[in-house]
Amino acid sequence: MSTNATIDQWELWHHGVRLADTTRSERIRVLRQFATEAGIDPTYAQPLDIVRWYSSHPEWTKSTHYTYHSYLVTFFKWLQLQDIRADDPMIKVGKIKQPKRKPRPVADQHLIQLLRTNMHHRTRVMILLAALAGLRCIEIAAFRGEHVDVPRGRMLVQGKGGSEEWVPLHPVLVATAEGMPARGWWFPSNRTRPGQHVTRKSVSQSVGDAFRRADIPGSAHRLRHWYGTTLLEDGADVRVVQELMRHSSLTSTQMYTGVTDLRMRAAVEKLDLYRAIA
């Protein structure tokens, strides 16, 4: 079986198990990159081929290295399940520890500054969906007028893997919806994808450009981090925040609980030196 045929079969499997398009496209992209840069058919890659490929990319962050490693682990397990390959080279490569991720929420004052900056109306709506509903870029891109249920004060979010979740509609988003299409895409593609919505990358670029014009650090995903962190800082139960952020695991939500500067500062300020020496 040729390199392309194996990769095409793997891509077909992703469609069959209904994994998210972004997951599928990224895994295929990385596997093709490995095949090209290592100069081999990944179907028959040996542990040394994989380790040398890793070593050829010292610029990778720990997070990138971990992610790409997990893609290869999945690929070789799939080869075994399909009886295409008997052994698993990743066993000799070893495990890579997942780096601890910490949310990086936009600062409150920076969010205010961002919203005061002149920008296209639809870019502002993208920002509000990220900050007041915690939507990811891919969820913003595919948002439709039919997803808003004003009478019930809720909105439908189509998330990872085709999941659908209803979440409360923030009052600002209720007002925002009045100026957006009641049916169809909120962010239709202008030229490149007629009849379709904009891409995840397009949302990320639009919001990123707004941050740059405001001369402040930030991104669309950092607005989502602000959403989760602020909910917890304001006293929301971690299980409630898990549902609002649509995390499949509570572990993902708990990542937000230990990083708030406000809580750490408050804890330090409560230290009583005189009580300690009394």
Enumerate the active-site residues.
136, 160, 221, 224, 247, 256
Residue of 243, 121, 114, 107 lying closest to 175 (CA atoms) = 121
- Cα separation of 207 and 202, whole Å? 9
Nearest to residue 95, comparing CAs of 75, 65, 52?
65
Angle between helices 47-55 and 62-81 (to 10 degrees): 160
Q: Phi and psi dihedrals of 143, rounded to 5?
A: -75, 140
Length of the chain: 278
Q: DSSP secondary-structure letter at 185?
A: B
Compute CA distances 123 → 11, 22, 171, 206, 218, whole Å.
33, 22, 19, 6, 14
Q: What are phi and psi of 147, to 5 degrees?
A: -80, -5
Please name which of 167, 175, 192, 177 lies closest in space to residue 246, comparing C-alpha atoms: 167
Q: Compute the distance between CA of residue 126 and CA of residue 140 in angstroms, rounded to an integer.
A: 6
Given a contact cutoff of 8 angstroms between Cβ atoms, the answer to whether 130 and 143 are in contact is no
**Three-state secondary-structure class, residue 222:** helix
Name the maximum alpha-carbon separation found in the chain: 78
- Cα 144 to Cα 158: distance, rounded to the nearest angstrom: 10
